[in-house]
């Protein structure tokens, strides 16, 4: 089984656990195809934490078989979110096997990122999909919460900044850590949604045969957190667009649009967006995806320099 290079990087980062998963991958795929009556097609690229294959069921339904890289989602939160959503804002689950880390999902269309649309239209599409996705019940469950997420992001940012030789400004790290502290203190369990956690345009897929403006998410992380966190993900994306002009002014304009599209306060969106931009840039460098990281960190440095 040929694994895409982006997935291979996650496998390598997983050490022995990842290597054992890779060694058993052919047998795992064959057993699932036999047990579920699947005809398998090509490997789909674009993801980083799972192997995804085109599939067709015995009844002729197009689907995708998704196999999570071992250790990437030990609590099975992605499956929990998808099952709660029941197809509302998320890909529908056709079958699943938690023990084998496998899901059979409805096959969706192209990613939002691949479509020829202005960035503002893509932002609006993500927001419209989030409004549907946030309807999933946030009651119960053992998902990480907003305070835990803020603390973990602070630890990740500070640790990676030193480990990677300080690849962004000290000011960017200082601001990000201050914002992490703000968001941790602001956490209120009475005002949370079951958030996707990584609602970027590669995780936003067009619904086939429907309104061309209809999209669904894949690959949720699952967090009990304020809605602003999910909007931090489109805030951190499309860095090259922000670098075409004044990244501070363009960043604030994007923040205001996201707030307008969803009715969420722009202040927390800006703070979470800053945190995610710094953290994601550092993490991409950690994974060796050096071509992806610079726009994240360049914009973060510009935003940091403008903070009072």
* Residue whose structure tokens are 């004044």: 246
Number of domains into which the chain is organized: 2
Q: Are 46 and 159 within one domain?
A: no
In the listed set 78, 106, 134, which residue is the last one of a domain according to the structure?
Answer: 106
For 34-83, write each residue's pLDDT tens digit.
999 999 999 988 677 888 999 999 999 999 999 988 877 878 899 999 99
- Which DSSP category does 52 fall into? E
Q: Are 67 and 171 within one domain?
A: no
For the entire predicted model, the pTM comes to 0.90
How far is the C-alpha of 32 from the C-alpha of 106, rounded, in Å? 16
**Left if phi > 0, otherwise alpha if psi is -120 to 50, otherwise beta: which for 232?**
alpha
Q: How high is the pLDDT of residue 210?
A: 67
Closest CA to 270 of 278, 145, 49: 278
Retrieve residue 43's tokens: 């490997």
Q: Are 145 and 40 within one domain?
A: no
How far is the C-alpha of 109 from the C-alpha of 90, rounded, in Å? 13
Which residues constitute the domain of residue 59?
Answer: 5-106
Q: In the chain, which stretches have pLDDT less than 50?
A: none
Q: Are 253 and 287 within one domain?
A: yes
Retrieve residue 156's tokens: 């990740």
Q: Are 116 and 32 within one domain?
A: no
Q: How high is the pLDDT of residue 77?
A: 92
Q: Measured on CA atoms in the order 251, 269, 80, 221, is the torsion positive or negative?
A: positive
Q: How high is the pLDDT of residue 15?
A: 86
Q: Are 253 and 162 within one domain?
A: yes
For 197-230, write each residue's pLDDT tens digit.
999 999 999 999 868 889 999 999 999 999 999 9
Q: Residue 183 in contact with residue 146, Cβ under 8 Å?
A: yes
In the listed set 106, 141, 167, which residue is the last one of a domain according to the structure?
Answer: 106
């Amino acid at each position: 089984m040929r694994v895409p290079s982006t997935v291979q990087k996650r496998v390598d980062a997983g050490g022995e656990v990842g290597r054992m998963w890779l060694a058993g991958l052919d047998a795992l795929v064959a057993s699932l195809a036999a047990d579920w009556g699947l005809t398998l097609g090509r490997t789909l690229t674009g993801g980083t934490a799972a192997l995804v294959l085109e599939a067709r069921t015995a009844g002729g339904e197009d689907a995708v078989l998704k196999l999570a890289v071992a250790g990437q989602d030990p609590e099975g939160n992605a499956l929990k979110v998808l099952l709660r959503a029941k197809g509302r804002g998320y890909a529908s689950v056709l079958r699943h096997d938690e023990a084998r880390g496998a899901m059979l999902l409805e096959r969706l269309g192209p990613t939002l990122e691949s479509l020829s649309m202005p960035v503002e239209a893509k932002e609006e599409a993500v927001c419209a999909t989030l409004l549907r996705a946030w309807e999933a019940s946030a009651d119960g469950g053992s998902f990480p919460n907003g305070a835990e997420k803020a603390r973990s992001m602070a630890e990740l940012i500070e640790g990676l900044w030193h480990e990677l030789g300080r690849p962004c400004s000290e000011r960017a790290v200082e601001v990000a850590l201050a914002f992490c502290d703000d968001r941790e203190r602001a956490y209120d369990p009475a005002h949370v949604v079951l958030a996707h956690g990584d609602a970027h345009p590669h995780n936003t897929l067009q619904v086939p045969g429907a309104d061309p403006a209809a999209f669904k998410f894949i690959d949720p992380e699952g967090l009990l957190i304020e809605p602003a966190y999910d909007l931090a993900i489109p805030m951190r994306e499309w860095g090259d667009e922000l670098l075409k002009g004044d990244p501070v002014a363009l960043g604030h304009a994007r923040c205001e649009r996201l707030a307008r599209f969803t009715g969420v306060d722009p202040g927390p969106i800006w703070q979470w967006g800053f945190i995610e931009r710094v953290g994601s840039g550092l993490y991409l460098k950690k994974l060796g995806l050096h071509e992806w990281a610079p726009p994240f960190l360049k914009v973060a440095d510009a935003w940091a320099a403008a903070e009072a």
